[in-house]
A = this chain, B = another copy of it.
Amino acid sequence: MEKRTYIGDLSQHVGESVTIMGWVSVRRDQGKMVFFDFRDMTGSVQGVVLPKSAAIETAKDVRVESAVAVTGLVNKRPEKNVQEGKQNGDIELQIERVEVLGAAATLPFELGADLHLETHLDNLPLTLKTQRSRDIFHMQSSILDAYRTSLKLQGFTEFVAPALVGGDAEGGSAVFKVDYFNDKTAYLATSPQFYKQIMVGPFERAFTVAKIFRAERSATTRHLSEATCMDFEMGFIENEKEPMRVLEKTIKDTVKFVAEKHADIFERFHTSVPLVPDEIPILTLREAQDILGVPHEPDMEPENERQICEWSKKEKGSDFIFITRYPTKKRAFYTYEDPSESPYSRGFDLLFRGLEINSGAQRIHDHDTLVARMKERGFDPAKFVFYLQAFRYGMPPHGGSSTGLERFTARMLEIPNVKEATAFPRDMTRIDSRLSEAPEFES
């Protein structure tokens, strides 16, 4: 096999014969000549097979999306054919040889065509290769990277939270059951909450990127059976403002990182870098409801979340807004309530472009208060005996928050359905293939 030259390096090899490897993005057969666009992980380049090239027969057979090794001469393009501002817009590969490394069958649809979401998902091993999907998951990779980096710079230590748990961690949501050893039942975690609270003990500031699983019978544009959360928890806080400030910094760092790295992706998605002012605006739930002129319900409807985000963008120049002071009874049982602030909790949500992407709070740190709250909510403290140990051996005031990676990615690029921002989404009707249909094997 010849030495490979990356497409991104071709401009340094003008006048040389090189071998590139990648996929056929485009093939245009013009009778005597065949034109190609090739891509690898470093970029794209155009190639041409001239009539007398030894490659002309292969070139006529090779199908789009085939994986190929292509040997050719790197030529400067004539001035009139130069495409300014485009990678390799001033060069062209004069193809001498095409070797098919992995042939593609005829595609079931044109790659990049506007597909029904279900068709897109049925064909992910193919459709993830589109520019759009590659953009989405490059963006997601950068969000993960920037989020973790920001937390590390803020003194947080990463840990690995478990996915298998011994009971429904938070009691509330529907939970998946797992057949465990010796006829025992295990469950899939609905949150790494208890574990990150425990990790405040060793690390004071801890974070995890963890899988969460929700067996809710919800079929909306924002629900998944399996999702990824970016969770942090920190000790020795005075109130919920401190985790809010950490989150604000993380959001700002992440937006700055993707703005610098992915200007081209924002452009291709016809959207702009999110607006994040120096201080993300904060409204109490009541204030938000008063602004919208809606009744003082204990929670916000999705429609109201969209409206208050529009208000925030227009009035405060922010695509993000914090909502605080939800009634304690509407929040998880471990949410802290200061007696002077009753019946409101020290919880908060962060909304981004119309959608809740993060939820957080100061938590109860006193053992007996926590046990009393469990009992109020009808939970049996005996089920939480492992977790409660953390509160018996010196738990400081603490709090944290959880950001949904797929939701954050989706709103970053204004993608309507969170499933498109999930590489391999699971929902009520799908695990890779649709569950309602028997898979059909095409050999």
Chain A residues at the B interface, C-beta cutoff of 8 Å:
1, 4, 21-24, 40-42, 65-67, 69, 101-105, 107, 123-126, 128-129, 133-134, 137-138, 140-141, 144-145, 152, 155, 157-166, 176-182, 184, 186, 188, 195, 198-199, 201-205, 211, 213, 215, 217, 225-226, 228, 235-236, 238, 365-366, 368, 371, 381-383, 385-387, 389-397, 405, 422-424, 426, 428-429, 431-433, 435, 439-443
Contact = CB atoms under 8 A, between A and B. Distances in A.
Contacts of A124: 198, 386, 389
A433 B162 contact: no
Contact of A160 (B199, B423, B428): B423
A203 B145 contact: no
A125 B390 contact: yes
A422 B164 CA distance: 13
Given A160-B405, A211-B163, A431-B166, A393 B107 contact: yes
Nearest to A185: B179
Given A67-B236, A152-B145, A366 B396 contact: no
Contacts of A195: 423-424
Contacts of A4: 236
A441 B180 contact: no
Contacts of A393: 65, 104-105, 107, 125-126, 129
Contacts of A203: 41, 134, 137
Given A101-B397, A389-B126, A393-B105, A381 B443 contact: yes
Given A104-B393, A164-B225, A392-B105, A178 B177 contact: yes
